[in-house]
Amino acid sequence: MSAQQLSELSEGQISCLRLVARGMSSKEIARATGLSHYTVDTYIKRALPVVGASNRRDAARIVVRSEQSQKIGSPPESVVFQSDSAILNPATSHRSSNATLSSVFDLPKIGGGVNDLAWVERHYAIIKVAALGFSVILAITLASAGILWVFE
């Protein structure tokens, strides 16, 4: 991405894309910036053609890389802000344990805004969650039946 393309983006669009690069949803970005999530979505959608990206994650990646290449020698902002947020918000450490559990079962993220998944990927994720839920219910049922059988 050239410096001219970066200058075509507003400061609001750039800040929203930086937060997208950190993995935040539109609602989280809205809370952090004081904007409505509709405004955040509008900023991001208008930035996509300027950056030349097909989705918000790619646009965020392009903007962050472009900024990093212009700031040679300084640490990336995402690293600085992540360490600050980990110190200021201890609730994120609790979320990381949930994230590891989700990664073990390869489950989709809970909540959030509009996702980038295709129709097939979305339904595959739904089927995975349903299969895991069915497996848990079946395990509980079989364990209960086994306990009742032992104590009869």
Specify the CATH number for 3-112; select among 1.10.150.450, 1.10.540.10, 1.10.10.10, 1.10.3720.10: 1.10.10.10
pLDDT digits (tens, 9 = 90+) for 55-91: 989 888 888 888 887 765 455 555 444 444 444 444 4
| Residue 140, token pair as written in the block | 């509980």
Closest CA to 59 of 43, 83, 35, 75: 43
* CB-based contact 3:50 (threshold 8 Å): no
From first to last of the 152 residues of the chain, give the pLDDT tens digit. Answer: 667 777 888 888 888 998 999 988 889 998 888 888 899 999 999 988 888 888 989 888 888 888 887 765 455 555 444 444 444 444 444 455 555 656 676 666 666 666 677 888 889 989 999 999 999 999 999 999 999 999 98
